[in-house]
Amino acid sequence: MEALNSLLLLLNEPLVQFFLWVAVLYIIAAIFVDRRVSFWISSISATYFWVKTQDPAVALRAWFVVLAVFTVVLIARYLFHMNIVLFLKGKKRCPMCCEEAYRKAKVCPHCHYSFTSESDECREDKF
Ligand SMILES: [Zn+2]
- HSE, side-chain direction, 13 A CA sphere, residue 63: 14
Q: Is residue 34 part of a domain?
A: yes
Do 6 and 50 lie in one domain? The reply is yes
* Domain contains 84: no
Inside any domain, residue 7: yes
Same domain? 75 vs 93: no
Residues 37 and 72 in one domain: yes
What domain range is 68 assigned to? 2-79
> 29-86 pLDDT, tens per residue?
888 888 888 888 888 888 888 888 888 888 888 888 888 988 888 888 777 777 878 8
Q: How far is the CA of 124 from the centre of ligand 1 (A)?
A: 15
Mean pLDDT for the stretch of residues 9-33: 86
Q: DSSP secondary-structure letter at 117?
A: S
Distance 121 CA to ligand 1 centre (A): 9
Domain shared by 65 and 97, yes or no: no
Could you tell me where the beta strands, DSSP code E, fall in the chain?
Answer: 91-93, 100-102
**96 and 125, same domain (yes or no):** yes
Q: Is the pLDDT of residue 124 over 70?
A: no
- Looking at the structure of the chain, the number of domains it has is 2
pLDDT averaged over every residue in the chain? 84
Instruction: Measure 65 CA to ligand 1 centroid, in angstroms.
Output: 35
Residues 7 and 47 in one domain: yes
**Helix, strand, or coil here: 28?**
helix
Residue 40 to residue 82: CA distance in whole angstroms: 24
Do 72 and 97 sit in the same domain of this protein?
no
Same-domain check for residues 24 and 75? yes
pTM of the predicted structure, to 2 decimals: 0.61
E strand or H helix at 48: helix 35-53
CA distances in angstroms from 16 to 48, 105, 113, listed in the order given? 16, 37, 43
